[in-house]
Amino acid sequence: MWGLDQLTKTWAVAALSSGRVVEIVPGVFDLVLTRNPGAAFSLGTGLTAALSVLAIVVVVVVIRAASRLRDTGWAIGLGCLLGGALGNLTDRILREPSFMRGHVIDFLHIHHWPVFNVADCAITVAAVIIIWRTWRGIGLNGKR
């Protein structure tokens, strides 16, 4: 997931930096480059360093939980969470304007919805799976 996220962001920066918008489904979905200093929906734009630290905590917690995984659903959910968190964390660490304050590359745009990226999709899928497994009472070990 991390690799796909970084690959698509590299493409987006190269192909869309000039302000170019690529219409995929006219009036519904297009590709447009934005640089997001905040969290989802561009909230918390002044909290970029804190969001970086939060992402590091998420990565550490997921890696520590991995040794207890015995359930495929949890493995997929936590894998998506790890890939998404690492994808956006990579941007915050390596992209402008500075270390731990970098802006996340977003480029997927469904009209009437904020612009997002592959990492955001992975985090959303992770949230659905984690809520679903928790609601069903299934632990990391696969037991109820």
| C-beta atoms surrounding 125 within 10 Å | 18
| Catalytic-labelled residue, pool 30, 71, 91, 106 | 106
CA distance 122 to 124: 5
Identify whether 91 is a catalytic site residue.
no
Q: In a 10 Å sphere around its CB, with 0-12 CB exposed, 13-18 middle and 19+ buried, how is residue 16 labelled?
A: middle
Identify whether 106 is a catalytic site residue.
yes
CA distance 43 to 55: 15
Token pair 């970098």 in the structure block, residue: 102
CA distance 118 to 108: 8
Catalytic residue IDs: 106, 120
